[in-house]
Amino acid sequence: MRGDLEKILIDEPAILARLDGLAEEITKDYQGKDFTVIALLNGSIIFMADLLRRIPLPLTLDCLRVSSYHGGTETTGKVTFHQMNMPEVRGRHVLLLDDILDSGLTLAAVSARIMEEQPASVRVCVLLKKRKERYAHADSDYTGFEIGDEFVVGYGLDYQERYRNLPFIGVLRPEMTRG
């Protein structure tokens, strides 16, 4: 799998160190609050597991499976929710976890749906935030790393469901995504 990469963008020690910092910020902000984490699947699962083990607060956890890439390297422009029922968050403080803020479409759609459930608040935490213009208004309250507009894999991020298990973030060689 490493041979499919152009370069390693963020190595495992850097990711783990940044998770410590994110956990510290989140712990401070959510101390004493009814707190629900909603992880967006499948991309955020590794990020979620490693981050939540660092947060020493009582919390509830739920997951939403949504997609907008559908196997390609660019968003299709359509966000698909793969479940009918939304998590029970009325009156609770919600932290949405996602692997990457790219086009903004997924986070904007999920945030809007969660707001319909009348939470006390909604914040967003992403592992990666691309420096680029977004198709939809979305931003993160907590960001692991800002990156350029490159197609990345690893640490939960995939290309056609592959590479999620890499312990670092890498840039996929362009020829790996050509049909």
Q: What residues are labeled active site?
A: 102
Pairing of strands 169-172, 142-147: unpaired
Say how many residues make up the chain: 179
Whole-angstrom Cα distance, residue 35 to residue 174? 41
Q: What 3-state class would DSSP assign to 111?
A: helix
Bridge partners (DSSP) of residue 169 are: 10
Whole-angstrom Cα distance, residue 107 to residue 102? 9
How far from the centroid of its chain's Cα atoms is residue 87's Cα? 17
